[in-house]
Chain A
Amino acid sequence: MNILIIEDESRIAKRIERMTRAIFGDTLQSIKHSNTLHEALQFIENNSLDLVLLDLNLNGNNGFDLLTTAVSKSFHTIVISAYRDQAITAFEYGVLDFVPKPFNRERLEQALHRTIANEKIEKNEIKFLAVKKRHRIQLIPIEDVLYIKGAGAYTELFLAHEKKELHDKSLEQLEQLLSNTFERIHKSYLVKMSEIKEIIVESGSKYIAELKNGERIPIGRTRYKDIKAKWL
Chain B
Amino acid sequence: MNLRFFSNLLLICFILLFTSCSQTPVFKQYETVFQVGDQQEWAAKELHDQNWQKRPKLVPDGKIFWYRTKIDILEASESLNPYGIFLHVYGEYEVFWDGVLIGKNGNPGQEADLPPEGELWPTFNIPSHLTNEGEHLMALRLSNYYFPDHLGIYELKIDYYDELLTDRLIESSYMNLFAGAFLITSFYFLFLFLSNKKEYATLIFSISCFLFFTLILAEFMKGYIPIHYNMHVIRLKIISALLLGISFFIPFYFSMQFPFPKRKLLLTIYAGLLLFIFLSRHVFELTANNMTLSMWLFSFGIVVFGVYKKMKGARLVLLTLLLSVPIGFVTPFNKSLFAGFSLILLGMFYLLSLRIKEQRLAYENSLVQSTRLRLELIKKNIQPHFLMNTLTSLIDWVEETPKKGVLFIEALAKEFDLFNQIENQTLIPIAQEIALCHTHLEIMEYRKEINYSLQEEGIDLEQKIPPGILHTLLENGITHSLPLEGNSIKFKLIFESNSDYKCYTFLTFAASVRQDANTKKEGTGLKYIKARLTESYNEQWELSSEPVHHGWKNTIKIYS
Tell me whether B395 and A102 are in contact (CB under 8 A): yes
Closest to A19 in B: B396
- Tell me whether B549 is interfacial, beta carbon within 8 Å: no
Which residues of chain B in 466-519 are interfacial with respect to chain A, using CB atoms and an 8 Å cutoff? Answer: 476, 479-480, 482, 513-516, 519
If A36-B513, A60-B523, A82-B384 touch, whether A12 touches B392 (CB-CB below 8 Å) is yes
Query: Residues of A contacting B220 with CB < 8 Å?
Result: none
If over half of B's interface residues share one DSSP class (helix, strand or loop), that class is named, otherwise mixed; here it is helix
Tell me whether B393 and A82 are in contact (CB under 8 A): no
Which residues of chain A in 1-50 are interfacial with respect to chain B, using CB atoms and an 8 Å cutoff? Answer: 8-12, 14-15, 35-38
If A11-B447, A15-B396 touch, whether A101 touches B389 (CB-CB below 8 Å) is yes
Tell me whether B397 and A11 are in contact (CB under 8 A): yes
Query: Residues of A contacting B15 with CB < 8 Å?
Result: none
Which of B394, B448, B479 lies in contact with A60, CB distance below 8 A?
B479
Query: Residues of B contacting A104 with CB < 8 Å?
Result: 395
Tell me whether A10 and B450 are in contact (CB under 8 A): yes
Which of B384, B482, B516, B523 lies in contact with A84, CB distance below 8 A?
B384
Tell me whether B387 and A82 are in contact (CB under 8 A): yes
Query: Residues of A contacting B449 with CB < 8 Å?
Result: 10-11, 14
- Tell me whether B435 is interfacial, beta carbon within 8 Å: no
Query: Residues of A contacting B397 with CB < 8 Å?
Result: 11
User: Nearest-CB distance from A104 to chain B (Å)?
Assistant: 7
Interface residues on A, range: 20 to 34
Interface residues on B, range: 20 to 34
Closest to B397 in A: A11
Tell me whether B393 and A9 are in contact (CB under 8 A): yes
- Tell me whether A231 is interfacial, beta carbon within 8 Å: no
Query: Residues of B contacting A103 with CB < 8 Å?
Result: 392
- Tell me whether A61 is interfacial, beta carbon within 8 Å: yes
Query: Residues of B contacting A84 with CB < 8 Å?
Result: 384
- Tell me whether A180 is interfacial, beta carbon within 8 Å: no
- Tell me whether A173 is interfacial, beta carbon within 8 Å: no
- Tell me whether B27 is interfacial, beta carbon within 8 Å: no
Query: Residues of B contacting A38 with CB < 8 Å?
Result: 513-514
Query: Residues of B contacting A12 with CB < 8 Å?
Result: 389, 392-393, 396, 447
If A15-B396, A83-B385 touch, whether A36 touches B391 (CB-CB below 8 Å) is no
- Ordered by A's residue number, 10 sampled pairs between the chains whose C-beta atoms are within 8 Å are A9-B392, A10-B448, A10-B449, A60-B523, A61-B516, A82-B385, A84-B384, A102-B388, A102-B392, A102-B394
Identify the B interface with A (CB < 8 A): 384-385, 387-389, 391-397, 446-450, 476, 479-480, 482, 513-516, 519, 523
Instruction: Known A-B contacts: A15-B393, A38-B513, A102-B388. Give 17 more (CB < 8 A).
Output: A10-B448, A11-B396, A11-B449, A12-B389, A14-B396, A36-B482, A37-B513, A60-B479, A60-B480, A61-B515, A65-B516, A82-B388, A83-B385, A100-B388, A101-B389, A101-B392, A102-B392
